Structure 1
Amino acid sequence: PNLLILAVASVATGMTWTVFLLARQGFMIDAVPWGMRGRALSTLGGTHRIGMFLGPVLAAPLIAAHGARSAFLFAAAMSGLALLLVLRVPDLGGAARAEARADPASMRQVLHAHRRALLTLGVGALGISALRGVRLTIIPLWADHLGLSPANVALIVGLGALLEILVFYPAGALMDRAGRVWVAVPTALLLGIGLLLIPSTGSLRALLLASLVMALGNGLGSGIVMTLGADTAPRVHRAKYLGGWRLVADLGATGGPLLVSGVTLVAGLATASVVVGAGGVLVAGWLAQWVGALDRARRGPGRPVDERMRE
């Protein structure tokens, strides 16, 4: 009924969504064998994309028939069904939590202990998240600049989402069989190249091609941020580490569009797209260095990955 209640509800859904993202990632680490982690987490990211694709499709006729409020009732019903599923899921993390209670550590201590992973791989995850956030911002803005209709924008976004759905599982298999670097680097590179191409587009077809380049990169990267976080997460105090990892990635997701706003204000939207696109190429180089090191550490014998990454 008013802005205050809307704001409170938005904050509540944002907080609970973040907790759910961390919980599902932690559960998958416990539930899935190490050698299938890439496929499992890319599939998790892929199912999220399928839901993002199907949600508006299913809600559209409800909105047309009963108004916008019906979409929120539909979302609440889907949340209720998800709750029923979650209640049937076994708790696999009890032993690790018991160890954490026996050896308590603050959030600051946990993140400091794993600072090397956060300042190397975490920065790469921040870059990927920033590129993804910018992609979602740039496409509708540039479409508006070209004078395209909302239906055209929906077509561009929908075809991009379909391409992402088609490639998420092969990307997971590639992560497991060849290494994380073979997904992380193309993800950043294709997102960066797509952003570099956007200022040269002057029609629906050209913008669609540029957006599909970015969609291919984003689909290949389905689950890559979660997988890198899972690979470096310790067994004890995992939730605190993943919370810090998620914070770093979210800083990129929010900071990327803010960067676009700042550069656009000074030099225009085309320049902003080129600047961030060039940054994507640099992010790809950073990921090649540090994700390559992670892959070598994963293949090495002995200690857990997070210990080897600290050296």
Structure 2
Amino acid sequence: MTAERDETIKWRSLIIPIYGPTILISIGMGAVVPLIALSALDLGATVAQAAVVVGLIGMGQLAGDLPAGALAQRFGEKPVLLAACLVEAAAMLVASRTDSLAVLSIAVFVSGLASAVFGLARHAYLSEAVAAHFRARALSTLGGTFRIGSFIGPFVGALLVEQFSIGATYAFAACMSLAGGLLSLTLPSLPGVAPVSPADTAERPPGLWSVLARHRRVLLTLGVGVLLISAARATRQSIVPLWAESQGLDASTVSVIFGISAGVDMLLFYPGGAIMDRFGRMWVALPAMIVLGAGFLLLPLTSSAVAIGLVACLMGLGNGISSGIVLTLGADVAPDEGRRQFLGGWRLCADLGNVTGPGLISLITLAFPLGAAAIALGAIAWFGAGWLARWVPAYAPSPAEERVTAG
């Protein structure tokens, strides 16, 4: 009982240095992301080119995942967090001032790189700072703060565009990144972890590729599971508005549907973490994928705003309760030696799902109607549920096993 109390106090001491920067930066990026395509169009891009520019955020995250692990291993989480915030702020300032499509594209890509580094450093820090019996709640809260910021951001962006300009929104995002970097300076050092010194060459840390090769089995099994989770989440955000538009709903109605669904999503991040800590990771991973799959399969049966809204809320339920599952599973299976490099590979699996998931919609709809794409995605989500049912118990310890190990 005392240990739980002490660990809870320790976790609360991280609210400002860990969760504060996350919510600030996600508000800033949430304000910017809906406007990137418009910025590209204003600079002379075609619709296809504008879509590519938006996709450069995800490409930057993919490119940055593995180097992020190496950087965190080399310099430690605190300097890397600060550097990522400064780089992202610089990219947003450049985007706010440029009149070149190429420069905007580079800035968006660099922002994705910085986001990967920032996300890896937070993940690695919390994986070590918080005890296993409280890990899921801590990491689900991290996912929840990102959701809250992403929900608030677009409203702030709309206000700034109305009062000033799109450039002012990028400048606002830069200020949020700088504020996040300043808050990161308050991050306490991990107990028992000495700072890395360039002069320390007697015991060289394991290399990135050796760590990934050593743990390739978990990346090719459980890692595929998190890829499927990420793909289901990302396609949910794409297919619901596409289906709503195909049924004749206007943009304002779609926005209301998304807002309500996001509200359901945000309410469930902490309960999801509590369930994982108390009962085990399977009690969230499996229901979340089943619910998301059901939402995909039900979507082609809807035509009215109410029906589409109800399905969107169902999918928001599945997405919200799974907040932090990818981070938590990664922390569960990360090795003590080479933890940061391993988490870089782990996050690469998740980001591959984020990028390839929406691409499946485009690929399927080349030959089939949108409803067929929804059915295919539902089948993939349910396949993912079966895959997770096979591999989560093999790697993620149950709460009873954690208590025995701690004892």
The TM-score normalised by the length of structure 2 is 0.71
Larger RCO (CA within 8 A; separation ≥ 6): 1
Residue 2 in structure 1 maps to residue 103 in structure 2: no
Matches within 5 A, 1:147-296: 147-296=248-397
Whether the 8 Å contact between 2:222 and 2:388 is mirrored in structure 1 is: yes
Q: Secondary structure at the match of 1:219?
A: helix
Q: Does 1:114 align with 2:233?
A: no
Q: How many residues align?
A: 304
**Amino acid in structure 1 at the alignment position of 2:102:** L
CA contact (8 A) 1:130 1:257 kept: yes
- What do the CA deviations read for 1:193-250 (whole angstroms, capped 9, x no partner)? 1011111111111111111111000001101000000100012211110010011111
Q: Could you tell me which of 103, 109, 113 is aligned with 1:15?
A: 113
Say whether residues 1:64 and 2:162 are aligned partners: yes
Structure 1 residues 52 and 223: alpha-carbon distance in aligned structure 2, compared to 1, 3 A threshold: same
Cα gap change, 1:112/1:101 in structure 2, threshold over 3 Å: closer, same or farther? Answer: farther
The letter of the residue matching 2:388 is L
RMSD: 2.1
CA distance in 2, matches of 1:299, 1:18: 34
| Partner of residue 307, structure 1 | none
Match of 2:151 among 35, 38, 53: 53
The one-letter amino acid paired with 2:114 is T
Candidates 175, 181, 184, aligned match of 1:77? 175
* DSSP 3-state at the match of 2:128: helix
**C-alpha contact 2:231 2:355 (8 A) present in aligned 1:** yes
Alignment partners' CA distance in 2, 1:162 and 1:59: 19
When residues 184 and 101 of structure 1 are mapped into structure 2, their CA distance, relative to the original with a 3 A threshold, is: farther
By how many angstroms is 1:298 displaced? 6.7
Kept in 2: contact 1:100–1:236 (CA 8 A) = no
Uncovered stretches (5+) of structure 1, i.e. residues with no partner: 305-311
Please list every run of at least 4 consecutive aligned residues from structure 1 whose deviation after the TM superposition is greater than 3 angstroms.
93-101, 295-304
Q: Is the 8 A contact 2:277 2:399 kept in 1?
A: no
Query: How far apart are the structure 1 equivalents of 2:201 and 2:208?
Result: 12
Query: Which one-letter code corresponds to 1:174 in the other structure?
Result: I
The one-letter code sitting in structure 2 at the alignment partner of 1:244 is G
Q: What is the CA–CA distance in structure 2 between the aligned matches of 1:241 and 1:298, rounded to whole Å? A: 23
Matched-pair contact (CA < 8 Å) for 2:279–2:399: no
Question: Residues 97 and 237 of structure 1 are in contact (CA less than 8 Å); yes or no, is this contact kept in structure 2?
Answer: no
**Mean alpha-carbon deviation: is it higher for 26-35 or for 101-110?**
101-110
Q: 8 Å contact 1:96–1:235 — kept in the other structure?
A: no
Partners of 2:239 and 2:114 in 1: how far apart?
28
Q: Distance in 2 between matches of 1:38 and 1:301?
A: 13
Cα distance in 1, alignment partners of residues 388 and 276 from structure 2: 14
Report SS of the residue matched to 1:267.
coil
In the TM superposition, 1:111-150 aligns within 5 A as: 111-150=212-251
Tell me the distance in 2 between the aligned counterparts of 1:230 and 1:275.
31
Identity of paired residues, percent?
A: 46
CA apart distance, 1:100: 10
C-alpha separation in 2, matches of 1:262 and 1:36:
41
Aligned partners of 1:296 and 1:55: how far apart in 2?
36
Please give the alpha-carbon distance, in whole angstroms, between the structure 2 residues aligned to 1:64 and 1:179: 47
C-alpha deviation, 1:77, in angstroms: 1.2
Deviation at 1:282, TM superposition (A): 1.1
The letter of the residue matching 1:248 is C
Following superposition, the deviation at residue 293 of structure 1 comes to 2.4
